[in-house]
Structure 1
Amino acid sequence: MTKVLIATEKPFAPAAVAQMSEICNSAGYQVQLLEKYATKSELLQAVGDAHALIVRSDLVDREVLDAASNLKIVVRAGAGYDNVDTAYAREKGICVMNTPGQNSNAVAELAIGLAIYGIRDLFSGKMGGELRGRTLGLHGYGYVARNVHRIARAFGMNVMVYTRYSKAQAASQGIGVTKSLEELYAVSDVVSIHVPARGEHLQSVSMDVLKHLKEHAIIVNTARKEVVNEDELCEFMAARPDVKYLSDIAPDCIDRFKQDFEGRYYFTPKKLGAQTAEANLNAGVAAAEQIVEFFENGDRTFQVNK
């Protein structure tokens, strides 16, 4: 019998687990839950006889993959999959998938929420501003950014984007497309970052780009901290006391922020973008459905390690 292991340090909501189990059980699969595990050894033991693995932000490295002798597929319930060693999985013939778009509205709403918090001076009681009439710059144009655009239009914002791969789609939706990342940062009152932590995007938010920011600009990062050159961000913020940085992931240099940039930053207590009941359910159900389609029909639509 095909065994599906749902291994999550941060558990899915009970409603999500119920639907995921129903989908797998209906296909004749056995479901095992490993929730809130405290040690890696628990995961290594549980994955030993699993044919499929569903995770959230859990680390699936070489050791985990080597311990799973029957494993055929790993699904990361969410968009980012940097927690999975995709290259080694490919070497072992293991398909890795994500569930793109399932948590995009949740992340987009948080991005706009952070923008509001920033422009209202962190709700400090001091004079703030409004989003209406200001320019939002989208650094990237994937699922999340498209939802940010939808919400921002309702706020009356002007939206610009820099993207290398979705220019035609962005333009067809009436969004201004800049020729460079530097140009995007130069015209934006609020920059919202939506690129993955891989390839050309790693540390792409650097001094070369930041130095073009408008006065009193706000940077919102609901992507990954690895896309920001943190040393250069700190150097830039020290030189530009008018700029704010808000994110749902604290940087490694958080002590520098606490010491030097009081009132100009905010970080959520943990990675928060997808932490809604709706996104939790959507991503979990999509993961279960993709596993069934993979085994029953050979569907690899969302494979990320081809």
Structure 2
Amino acid sequence: MKRVLIATDKPFAPVALEKISTVIKQAGYQLNLLEKYQAKVDFAEAIKTADAVIVRSDIVDREILDAAQSLKIVVRAGAGYDNVDTGYAKEKGVVVMNTPGQNSNAVAELAIGLAIYGIREFFGGKSGGELRGRTLGLHGYGYVARNVHRIARAFGMNVKVFTRYSKAQATSEGIEVTNSLEELYAVSDVVSIHVPARGEHIGSVSMDVLKHLKTGAILINTARKEVVNEADLCRFMEERPDVKYLSDLEPDCSAEFKEKFTGRYYFTPKKIGAQTEEANTNAGVAAAEQIVAFFEKGDDTFRVNK
């Protein structure tokens, strides 16, 4: 009997857990649950006998992988998988998958919500603006950005995008693709970042790009903090008092924001982009189904460490 561990410091919603459990048990597998664990050693102990593990933002590093004695597959219930040491997992013969697109609408709705919050002056009583008729620049065009585009069109926004890898997709949907990231930032009233924290995207939001932002622009980050050069961001915010920055994660330089940029920023208390019951359910069930398909059919469609 295959043993599937769900290891989540931030647990799945009860309705999601019930549906995940149904998928696992219908396959004839044993389900083990580790929630709100207090220490890494708890995770290491729980994973010892697991054949598969589903995680969310939980860290699966060398120590955890070495503790696993029977592990064949790790599934990150969500799109980003920088919390998993994919290279070492590959060395150990462990497949790593993610569940792309399953929480994209939740993150997209947060991005638009942050844009509204920023343009309406943080609901503080000042006269703000409206999104209708303004230009939204999408930095990247993956699953989340495509949902942001869908919602932004309903608000009457003009949408442009810069992407290296999804130009055909964007063009087919009638979106203008800019020639450079700098051009995107220069023409957008609101810029929403949607690139992963790897490769050329690390630190890509630098002073060289930020300096092109138009007057009064709003920068939204629901991706990862690693894609922003934080030293450049703080310097830019000091030089450009007209710009606002709203993020689904607190930057390492948050103390400087609190000291210098009051009324021009907002950070969620913790990363909440995917924290909806619907996203919980979609990503969790997809993870369970991928595990079953992997063991029963050898399906590794969503493998990220080939």
Q: TM-score, normalised by structure 1?
A: 1.00
Q: How many residues align?
A: 306
1:128 corresponds to which residue? 128
- Residue 215 of structure 1 and its aligned partner are, at CA, apart by 0.2
SS in 2 for 1:238: helix
SS in 2 for 1:281: helix
Describe how 1:24-43 pairs up with structure 2 within 5 A.
24-43=24-43
Partner AA of 1:116 in structure 2:
I
| d(CA) in 1 for partners of 2:38, 2:141 | 37
- Residue 185 of structure 1 and its aligned partner are, at CA, apart by 0.2
1:188-244, Cα deviation, whole Å (9 max, x unpaired): 000000000000000000000000000000000000000000000000000000000
1:241 corresponds to which residue? 241
Query: Structure 2 unaligned runs (5+)?
Result: none
2:68 corresponds to which residue? 68
Describe how 1:99-248 pairs up with structure 2 within 5 A.
99-248=99-248
Partner AA of 2:82 in structure 1:
D
- Residue 17 of structure 1 and its aligned partner are, at CA, apart by 1.0
Describe how 1:5-20 pairs up with structure 2 within 5 A.
5-20=5-20
Partner AA of 1:6 in structure 2:
I
SS in 1 for 2:48: helix
Describe how 1:276-295 pairs up with structure 2 within 5 A.
276-295=276-295
2:252 corresponds to which residue? 252
Partner AA of 1:67 in structure 2:
A
| d(CA) in 2 for partners of 1:272, 1:184 | 26
1:134-176, Cα deviation, whole Å (9 max, x unpaired): 0000000000000000000000000000000110110111101
1:54-79, Cα deviation, whole Å (9 max, x unpaired): 00000000000000010000000000
SS in 1 for 2:31: strand
| d(CA) in 1 for partners of 2:297, 2:119 | 49
Runs ≥4 in structure 1, deviation > 4 angstroms? none
SS in 2 for 1:290: helix
- Residue 22 of structure 1 and its aligned partner are, at CA, apart by 1.0
Query: Structure 1 unaligned runs (5+)?
Result: none
| d(CA) in 1 for partners of 2:209, 2:16 | 41
SS in 1 for 2:252: coil
| d(CA) in 2 for partners of 1:141, 1:281 | 24
| d(CA) in 2 for partners of 1:301, 1:125 | 50
What RMSD over aligned residues (CA atoms) do the two structures have, in Å?
Answer: 0.4
- Residue 127 of structure 1 and its aligned partner are, at CA, apart by 1.2
1:305 corresponds to which residue? 305
- The share of aligned pairs that are identical, in percent, is 77
| d(CA) in 2 for partners of 1:180, 1:8 | 39
Partner AA of 1:115 in structure 2:
A
Partner AA of 1:37 in structure 2:
Y
SS in 2 for 1:48: coil
Partner AA of 1:168 in structure 2:
A
| d(CA) in 2 for partners of 1:299, 1:237 | 47
